[in-house]
Every structure is written in C-alpha cells, then in structure tokens.
Structure 1
Amino acid sequence: MDTKISLVERGALQKVGSVFVEAFGHTPALLIADGNTLRAGGFETVRSLEMANVEVQQYCFPALPQPYADEHSIALVHQLLQQENRIAVVLGSGTLNDMVKRASYELDRPYMVVATAPSVDGYTSYGAAVSVGGFKQTLPCSAPLVVLADTDVLSDAPPAMIASGFGDCMAKYTAGMDWILADLLGVQPIRTDVWDMVQIPLRKVYAQHQRIAHRESQAVGLLFDALSASGFAMQVMHDSRPASGAEHLISHIWEMEHLEKDGVPVSHGFKVAVGTLAVTRLYHALCSLDVSACVGRPMESWEEREASIRAFFADPLVAEQTLVIAKSKFLEGKALEDRRRALLALLPELQDRIAAQLPAYHQLEEAMQLVHCPIRPQEVNATMEDLKRAVTGAQMIRNRYTVLDLYYELGLFDLALQLL
C-alpha cells in the first residue's frame, strides 16, 4: 500500500508537523485548502508544521463557489507544486484531496492529507474521481503517504458532511452485494481478505448510527476509520470494486450532469445515499420477482443500443467513450441466452445472499434518515424521473457487473425502473 502512516485520534492536529517530518523530513510544504477547511484547522496545521521547522506556503481556494475536481483545477495545483520542490499537504476532504492526489501523481511526488470531515472513502484510495471534458472518470494516481485526522475536527464538521460520509459508507452494502453477484457469475471473484477490510467496519458503523447522528467523537472516528478501510481495500485490489457498485454509477451520472441544490453541487455521499436505497430496493425485489419469463425475451440489437447511448449522452465525446464500454459487455445470441440461464440457475442462492448481505430496506432508510442522509431524489434536487434517467445511464458507463446489468440482460430493465 502507498499509505504508510494513518493517524486518527483526538488532538491529532497538534502532531501534523512531527508526522510530516517522520514521512518527508524537512522538505518545504505547500498547504492547499479552501476557505472552509482553512477555518476548520488551518491555524493549527500551519503552527504544527512551523514548530517542526517545516517551511510552509499556502494556497487557499475560495469557500464559494466550491472547488471542483476537473482538469483545470488539477493543472493549477500541478503548477503550484512544480514551481518549487514542495510536498503537498491538503487540508480538506474529497474534492481537494482528489485534485492534490492527481497533481502530486503527475509530478511523481508523495503527499499528505489532513482530513477535515468523514465525508468520503476516497482519502486513502488509489485514483481520483475527476471530470475530464465533462466525463466523470477515475484517473490513476497514488494514495496519500500520510493520512491524519483529528476526531474533534471530524465531529465538528458540518452535519451534512458527516451524513455524506455515512451515505458513502452504507453504499458498501450494495457494492458488496454487486461483488457477490459478480462472484457467483464467475465475473470477478471475491478476495476474502479485502472483503473483510470493508465489510467488518461497515457493520460496526451501521450499529453505531445513532451515536454518529449525535456527532459523538468516538463514533465519528469509527466512521472515518471505516471509510479509510475502504480506501485501503482499493489500494490492495488496485480496483474500486470492494467499495463501489451500481449506487456509485448512479452518482457518477449525476456528477457528470452537475447536479446542484441551491446553487451548490450535491455531495458525492448524498448522491450515493439515494443510489444505495434504489439499488437496495432492486435487490430485495429479486427475492419475490418471477423472472422465469425472461427466457426468450427479446433484447435490443447493438444498433438499437448504440442509438440509445447516443441519445442519452448529448456530448459526442462522452457518447463515444461510453460506446466502447457498452460494446465490451454487450451480449447477444447464444452468449445472452447462456447468461440468462446462468442468472436463473443462481437466483435461489442469490436470494439467500441478498437476505444475508443487505439490511431490510426500511431499517437502512431509517438509519440514513437519522444521520440526515437524503433518502428521496427530491432531497438532492432531483425528481423520480431524474433517478430513473440516472439508473439508465449508470448501466451504460462502466464495465463492472452490477444488479443493473442483471436486470438489463434479463430484458427486465423497464421493470427495474418501475420498481424504484
């Protein structure tokens, strides 16, 4: 793993300097923050670095409009780092971390993240979720060498950011179920060690959701640990499969469409939360759905599929990128009939695994609501039609087998949209 030091404890901000020196010596640092994160921990971070005899420069993005992880912001950070031989210390959460992560990777430099909120699992993952030419991608890059989080700062984060992290954490239930499905089909086997890294902390967080809702420091720290563990699992796998399934693909569509509420981008965790409940509903529906009629059910031709994708994505470049992915997983003729028979054969076992893996829908919904996660598309400024559209696009954009592919290959995708 790239991450060699992970410190999550009360008062950790006071140790930023000593931990930096342990990892990087007395190399000069470039602190990258925004107006909000600088207020949350900028003074303590700079003071700790200076007390450790680390020379610090600062660059602060404005609090509003919020920084956006795209090729332009990455180029700016790249330029700042390139000017001098400095190590980036990013003070922030998902977006800032992704920008610094990618820019540092381009310069072949390690970096350090000082987390300000338990809002995402991307702190410790390989790759950065970045919009390039309007197309949401996970660009390759190294994980941080050092992750540090002060649980007092984490628990004092805006409630929406804690809720966002909780939503991203609960997504591991459906991501795990998608991995089980892929494993049963022989598409992508489960690695038990990596599975445990994600799924064991997930269940601890779910059990502590009431304490997280009350922003108790220890419980919020547990949430951050679980999110970090997901990132570590992705480092081990060199793949986001352990932490990302159909619910994240739904979020990616909304991110590509720049979903906003009150003029501010909807957080990743909030979009994922709505996606998680939608996917949970689709999985539970499989436990009572008669899908036997799918045998012999007509499937759209590749020409029809291509037309659907071009109609969905207005940007020709995005459409072309999506077509390559969609073609790689498109089944027809005997291959499709074989897949349908395989899905029908494994359905009884799949139903048992669904019952064991996923919480009851209303219990998960209640836990999310208690922690102030959105549970309806309207809460993220989307309609039910917007959700159906996002689910439709989500099935197109990645070569990763999920429940959306199951419904599509059975010829039941229209039914899936009705079940949402």
Structure 2
Amino acid sequence: MDTKISVVEQGAIYRAGALFVEAFGHTQALLVSDANTLGIGGFALIQSLEQQGIEVRQCCFAALPQVYADEFSIERVRLSLSQDASIAVVLGSGSLNDITKRASYEVDRPYMVVATAPSVDGYTSYGAAVSIKGFKQTLPCNAPTSVVADTTILCSSPMPMIASGFGDCMAKFTAGADWIVADELGLHPMRQDIWKMVQIPLRQVYAAHKDIANRDPRSVGLLFDALSASGFAMQVMHDSRPASGAEHLVSHLWEMEHLQKDGLPVSHGFKVAVGTLAMSFLYERLVRMDFSSIMERPSESWEERRENIEKVFSFSPIILEQVLPIAKVKFLEGDALKTRRKAILIALPKILRRCSVQLPPYGELRQAMKEVGCPISYADINTTKEDFFRAIRGAQMIRNRYTILDLLYEAGFLEEMLLAFDQGVF
C-alpha cells in the first residue's frame, strides 16, 4: 500500500510535524487548505511542522465558493508545488484531498493528509475523484503516504460532515451487494480478504450509529477507521469496486450537474446516502419480482439506447461525448443479451440469498441514516422525482461496472422497478 503511516487519536495534530519528518525527512512543506480548514487546525499544524525545523509555504483556497475538485484547482496546487521540492500537506477532507492527491501525482511526489472531518472514504484511496471538463471520474494517483486524524477535531466538525461520512460508509452495504451480483455472474470475482477489510468495520459503524449521532469520540473514530479501511481496500485492489457501486454512480450524475441546496454544493456523502437508500430499496423489491418472463422481455436497439442516453445527458454535450463510448461497450443485444439473461436467471437464487445476508432491512437502514442526520429522500438534497429517475438511468450508463442497475436493465425490468418509487417511499 502507498500509506505507510496512519495515526487516528486525540491530539494527533500535534504529532503531525514528527510524522512528516518520519515519512519525508526535513524537506519543505506546502500546506494546502481553505480558509475554513486553516482556521480549524492551521495554527497547530504549522506550529507542529516548524517545531521540527520544517519550512512551510501555503496554498490556501477561499472559504466561498467552496473549492471544487477540477482541473483548474489541481493546476493551482501543481504550479505551487513546482516552485520547489516541497511535499504537500493537505489540511481538509474530500475535495481538498483529491486536488492535492492528483497535483502531487502530476509532479511525482508523495503527500500527507491531515483530516478535518470523517466525511468521506477518499482520504486513503489510491485515486482522486475529480471533474475534468465537467465529467466526474476517478483519475489515477497515489494514496497519501501519511494520514493524521485528530479525534478532537473530527468530533468538533459540523454534524452534516459527520453525517456525510456516515452516508459514505453505509454505501458499502449496497456496493457490497453489487459486488455479489458481479461475482455470481462471473464478471468480477470476490476477494475475501478485501471484502472483510471493508465489511467488518462497516457493521461496527452501523451498530454504533446512535453514538455517532451524539459525537461520541470512540464511535466517530470508528467511523474514520471504517472510511480509511475502504480506502486501504481500494489501494490494495487498485479498483474502487470494494467501496463503490450503483449508489456512487447515482451521486456522480448529481455531481456532474453541480447539484446545490441553499446555494451550496450538496456533499458527496449526502448524494451517496440518497443513492444508497435507493439501491437498498431496489434490492428489497428484487426479492418480490417474477423473473420467469426474462427471456421474452423487450429490449432496446442501440439506436433506441443512444437516443435515451442523449436525453439523459442533454445538459452537457461534452459529457455526452464521453459517455457514449462507455455505454456502447457495455451494451448487449442479440445472442449476447440472451446469454446474459440466461446467466441472470441461473444466478438469481444465490444472488438473493447472499444479498439478504449482506443488506440490513431498508427501513432500518433509512432510520439509522435519519438519526445521524443523512438525507433520506431526493427532496432532501433539492432534486425532483424526474431528476432522481434521470440520475438512476444515467448511473447505469456511465461506468463499465456491473451493478443492480445493469442486472435490471439487461433483464428488461429497470423502468418497471422505477415505478415502485411512486409509492411515496422517497
């Protein structure tokens, strides 16, 4: 793994300087932050570095508008790093970490992250989730060499950021179910060591959701550890499959559309939370479906498929150009579709058995998310039913990663299943 040092404890920020020296020696440091995170831990972090004789430069983004992980922000940090041989130390969470991770990769240097909130699982992942020309994608880059998380700072972070991390963590339930589907269809075999790395901490966090809602330091630490474990799993596999399924792809659609609420971007974890509940709902409905007619179900031609893709991505011709080749590669018709439908029919009983063990009941998961402060409907993140349906349809089109949405689409049941949401659950 890329990450050699990970310290999660009370007062950890005061050890950051010594940990930096342990990882990188007495080189210069570039502190990457925004005005918010600089106010949270900037003084303690700079003091800790300077006490070890480390010269610190700064690259600080404004508090508003919130920094966005795109090619322009990456370029700003990359140019700052290019001025000398500094090692980046990012003080922040999701976007700041992804920006710094990618910029460091582009100048071929390691980096260190000092977390300010247990809000995402991307701290320790090998790639950076960024938007290039408006298209949300995961770019290759190394994970941080050193991760420092002060539980006092984590617990004092705004509750929506803690809830965002909880939502991102709960996504591992449905991501795991999607991996089961892909495993049973022979499309992406399961690795049990990686599975346990993610799923065991996930269940500990789920059991502690009431304590997390009350900012219990130990439980918030468990949340950060579980999010880190997901990142470590992605490092080992060089693939986000262990931590990301259809729920993340739904989130990607909203990120491409720059979904906002009250004038601010909706957090990654909140978008993922809604996507997770949607996929959990679909999995629960899957048990009640009659697949006996699967071989006779109608299917789209590529021309019909292309027309529907163009409708979903009409908001951005640039993104549409990037989506079409991906969607074409994964599109099945004729004998290939018949073969897949036969495979689904054979695998379905075992898929249902394994997923019944994997997934908590939809209602219980929804209640746990609500107690921690996650959104539980598309209206909570300022979107409409129409946009919600478009995001689900689009999520099936944008990645060559097999999920429940692919199973439903290929079986000819996706549109029928979307009608189930009309029952008012969301």
Q: TM tier, shorter chain?
A: over 0.9
Question: How far apart, CA to CA, are the structure 2 residues paired with 1:372 and 1:318?
Answer: 32
Question: How far apart, CA to CA, are the structure 2 residues paired with 1:329 and 1:2?
Answer: 32
Q: Quote how far apart the aligned CAs of 1:160 are.
A: 0.3
Residue of structure 1 in register with 2:332 after alignment: 331
Residue of structure 2 in register with 1:11 after alignment: 11
Q: Quote how far apart the aligned CAs of 1:410 are.
A: 0.7
Residue of structure 1 in register with 2:278 after alignment: 278
Q: Does residue 1:375 correspond to 2:383, yes or no?
A: no
Residue of structure 2 in register with 1:28 after alignment: 28
Q: Quote how far apart the aligned CAs of 1:34 are.
A: 0.7
* Secondary structure at 2:293 match in 1: helix
Residue of structure 1 in register with 2:353 after alignment: 352
Question: How far apart, CA to CA, are the structure 2 residues paired with 1:289 and 1:84?
Answer: 61
Residue of structure 2 in register with 1:127 after alignment: 127
Q: Quote how far apart the aligned CAs of 1:391 are.
A: 0.1
The letter of the residue matching 2:348 is L
* Secondary structure at 1:189 match in 2: coil
**Residue ranges of structure 2 left out of the alignment (5+ in a row):** 422-426
The letter of the residue matching 2:286 is L
Q: Quote how far apart the aligned CAs of 1:419 are.
A: 2.1
Q: Quote how far apart the aligned CAs of 1:298 are.
A: 1.6
Question: How far apart, CA to CA, are the structure 2 residues paired with 1:136 and 1:324?
Answer: 15
Q: Does residue 1:91 correspond to 2:80, yes or no?
A: no
Residue of structure 2 in register with 1:259 after alignment: 259
Q: Deviations over 1:44-73 (max 9, x none)?
A: 101100111111112211111100000001
* Secondary structure at 1:222 match in 2: helix
The letter of the residue matching 1:25 is G
Check the 8 A contact 1:195/1:242 in 2, yes or no: yes
The letter of the residue matching 2:114 is V
Question: How far apart, CA to CA, are the structure 1 residues paired with 2:352 and 2:24?
Answer: 50
Q: Deviations over 1:350-388 (max 9, x none)?
A: 111121000001100010000000001111001222111
Q: Quote how far apart the aligned CAs of 1:293 are.
A: 1.9
Question: How far apart, CA to CA, are the structure 2 residues paired with 1:80 and 1:120?
Answer: 25
Q: Quote how far apart the aligned CAs of 1:217 are.
A: 0.8
Q: CA RMSD in A?
A: 0.8
Equivalenced residue count is 420
* Secondary structure at 1:186 match in 2: coil
Question: How far apart, CA to CA, are the structure 2 residues paired with 1:133 and 1:416?
Answer: 33
Check the 8 A contact 1:254/1:390 in 2, yes or no: yes
Residue of structure 1 in register with 2:142 after alignment: 142
Q: Quote how far apart the aligned CAs of 1:320 are.
A: 2.1
Q: Deviations over 1:331-354 (max 9, x none)?
A: 111111111121112222111112
Deviates more, 1:314-323 or 1:236-245: 314-323
The letter of the residue matching 2:388 is L
Q: Quote how far apart the aligned CAs of 1:296 are.
A: 1.5
Q: Quote how far apart the aligned CAs of 1:416 are.
A: 2.0
Deviates more, 1:311-320 or 1:46-55: 311-320
Question: How far apart, CA to CA, are the structure 2 residues paired with 1:354 and 1:21?
Answer: 46
Question: How far apart, CA to CA, are the structure 2 residues paired with 1:334 and 1:85?
Answer: 57
Q: Quote how far apart the aligned CAs of 1:317 are.
A: 2.8
Q: Quote how far apart the aligned CAs of 1:311 are.
A: 2.5
Residue of structure 2 in register with 1:406 after alignment: 407
Question: How far apart, CA to CA, are the structure 2 residues paired with 1:364 and 1:298?
Answer: 34
Q: Quote how far apart the aligned CAs of 1:150 are.
A: 0.3
Question: How far apart, CA to CA, are the structure 2 residues paired with 1:173 and 1:313?
Answer: 28
Q: Quote how far apart the aligned CAs of 1:232 are.
A: 0.3
Q: Deviations over 1:216-242 (max 9, x none)?
A: 111101000000000000000000000
Q: Does residue 1:365 correspond to 2:333, yes or no?
A: no
Question: How far apart, CA to CA, are the structure 1 residues paired with 2:165 and 2:317?
Answer: 34
Residue of structure 2 in register with 1:117 after alignment: 117
* Secondary structure at 2:242 match in 1: helix
Residue of structure 2 in register with 1:217 after alignment: 217
Residue of structure 1 in register with 2:424 after alignment: none
* Secondary structure at 1:387 match in 2: helix
Q: Deviations over 1:160-209 (max 9, x none)?
A: 00000000000000000000000000000000000011000000000110
The letter of the residue matching 1:365 is R
Question: How far apart, CA to CA, are the structure 2 residues paired with 1:68 and 1:317?
Answer: 19
Question: How far apart, CA to CA, are the structure 2 residues paired with 1:379 and 1:258?
Answer: 15
Residue of structure 2 in register with 1:391 after alignment: 392
Question: How far apart, CA to CA, are the structure 1 residues paired with 2:21 and 2:271?
Answer: 38
Question: How far apart, CA to CA, are the structure 2 residues paired with 1:64 and 1:322?
Answer: 31
Residue of structure 2 in register with 1:340 after alignment: 341
The letter of the residue matching 1:168 is D
Q: Quote how far apart the aligned CAs of 1:119 are.
A: 0.3
Deviates more, 1:34-43 or 1:250-259: 34-43
Residue of structure 2 in register with 1:61 after alignment: 61
Check the 8 A contact 1:281/1:419 in 2, yes or no: no
Question: How far apart, CA to CA, are the structure 1 residues paired with 2:95 and 2:415?
Answer: 34
Aligned ranges for residues 170-249 of structure 1 at < 5 Å?
170-249=170-249
Question: How far apart, CA to CA, are the structure 1 residues paired with 2:329 and 2:420?
Answer: 27
Stretches (4+) displaced over 3 A: none
Residue of structure 2 in register with 1:164 after alignment: 164
Residue of structure 2 in register with 1:107 after alignment: 107
Residue of structure 1 in register with 2:308 after alignment: 308
Question: How far apart, CA to CA, are the structure 2 residues paired with 1:277 and 1:416?
Answer: 14
Q: Quote how far apart the aligned CAs of 1:413 are.
A: 1.3
Residue of structure 2 in register with 1:416 after alignment: 417
Q: Quote how far apart the aligned CAs of 1:390 are.
A: 0.4
Q: Deviations over 1:111-141 (max 9, x none)?
A: 0000000000000001111111111111111
Q: Quote how far apart the aligned CAs of 1:310 are.
A: 2.0
